């Protein structure tokens, strides 16, 4: 599993800065940047809970939806060979590529995270893979 915290439906990333000797993170899945930090795990969790509670209150006061909305469409970049294979598989099934990808995502998200992670090759962090 990845290093995350969850509270009231929000996810918080967890990182450690050896230079600053502090744990830190941010609330994921929102349109704003809300960070938190603590010098111990317990202080980090407390700071995350406070950050979420403060953010919920701020959103309520301004009438803003706290979680980022998803419109139901997104771009996915895949190697051209995979694109061809997926298109061919969809055609063999008599469905569109969009339907094929949707079914694949539905199936993948039905599994627990540890099962999904076991299928992903261990490589450089995806979040920091761009130079």
- The label of the residue with tokens 């830190």 reads 24
Of the pLDDT bands very low, low, confident and very high (cuts 50, 70, 90), residue 123 is low
Q: Cβ atoms within 10 A of the Cβ of 59, count? A: 16
Token duo for residue 38 = 């603590």
Q: Which strand (E) or helix (H) includes residue 41?
A: helix 41-62
Token duo for residue 123 = 């490589």
Say whether 103 sits in a helix, a strand or coil.
helix
- The label of the residue with tokens 């309520």 reads 60
User: What's the pTM value of the predicted model, to 2 decimals?
Assistant: 0.66
Closest CA to 73 of 97, 54, 91: 97
Question: Rounded to a whole number, what is the distance in angstroms from the first to the last CA of the chain?
Answer: 25
SS3 readout for 66-89 = CCCCCCCCCCCCCCHHHHHHHHHH
Per-residue pLDDT tens for 56-109?
999 999 999 998 888 888 898 999 999 999 999 999 999 999 999 999 999 888
Per-residue pLDDT tens for 2-31?
789 999 999 999 999 999 999 999 999 999
Say whether 37 sits in a helix, a strand or coil.
strand
């Amino acid at each position: 599993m990845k290093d995350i915290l969850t509270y009231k439906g929000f996810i918080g990333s967890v990182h450690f800065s050896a230079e600053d000797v502090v744990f830190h993170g941010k609330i994921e899945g929102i349109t704003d940047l809300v960070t938190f930090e603590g010098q111990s795990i317990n202080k980090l969790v407390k700071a995350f809970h406070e950050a979420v509670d403060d953010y919920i209150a701020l959103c309520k006061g301004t009438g803003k939806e706290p979680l980022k909305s998803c419109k139901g469409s997104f771009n996915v970049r895949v190697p051209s060979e995979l694109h061809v294979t997926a298109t061919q598989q969809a055609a063999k099934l008599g469905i569109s590529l969009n339907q094929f990808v949707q079914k694949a995502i539905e199936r993948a998200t039905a599994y627990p995270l540890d099962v999904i992670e076991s299928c992903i090759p261990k490589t450089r962090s995806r979040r920091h893979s761009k130079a």
